[in-house]
């Protein structure tokens, strides 16, 4: 298993782009139903580009809900404190969950991205490198 290089931030650190400082914002589903407050983000260590938001769905009193890692590519901004996921609450509740968000693996990321019909973003950077250097696989 290969560890993901992403770093978990549970605060809106200055390194993050202003539009990606989402910790504390509220997540709404596709039908504009409030789901949860964003607990953190997973960002690339060098570029500080946010790849996922992290929130806890469900739970009540002493019952802990499900930790959800949701790709930022499927979010739309409602206003400065609200974002909308492009999936229903039910679909998000069924999403795969990694064992430890601070020790996320590439394999777990692939499962999450596949569930949300996204290609691995690290493949995109390899394609850009090939275009920049003029090499082909």
Q: For the chain, what are the domain ranges?
A: 7-133
- Model confidence at 59, pLDDT cuts 50, 70, 90, reads low
Q: How many CB atoms lie within 10 A of CB 71?
A: 23
Write out the DSSP string of 85-137.
Answer: ESS-HHHHHTS---S-GGG-BHHHHHHHHHHTT---HHHHHHHHHHHHHT---
pTM value is 0.83
For residue 63, give every residue at least 6 positions away whose Cβ sits within 8 Å of its Cβ, in sequence order, or none: none
Residue 133 predicted with pLDDT over 60: no
pLDDT at 129: 45
Check residues 112 and 124 and name the one with the higher pLDDT: 112
- The CATH number, out of the four listed (3.30.540.10, 3.30.200.20, 3.40.50.720, 3.90.50.10), of the domain defined by the range 7-133: 3.90.50.10
Length of the chain equals 137
- Model confidence at 7, pLDDT cuts 50, 70, 90, reads very high
């Amino acid at each position: 298993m290969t560890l993901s290089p992403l770093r978990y931030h549970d605060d809106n650190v200055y390194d993050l782009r202003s539009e990606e400082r989402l910790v504390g914002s509220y997540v709404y589903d596709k039908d504009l139903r409030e789901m949860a407050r964003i607990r953190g983000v997973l960002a690339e260590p060098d570029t500080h580009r946010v790849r996922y938001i992290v929130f806890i769905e469900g739970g009540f009193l002493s019952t802990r809900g499900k930790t959800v890692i949701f790709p930022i590519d499927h979010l739309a901004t409602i206003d400065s404190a609200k974002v909308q996921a492009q999936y229903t609450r039910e679909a998000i509740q069924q999403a795969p969950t990694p064992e430890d968000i601070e020790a996320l693996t590439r394999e777990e990321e692939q499962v999450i991205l596949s569930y949300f019909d996204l290609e691995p973003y690290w493949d995109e950077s390899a394609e850009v490198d090939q275009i920049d250097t003029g090499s082909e696989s």
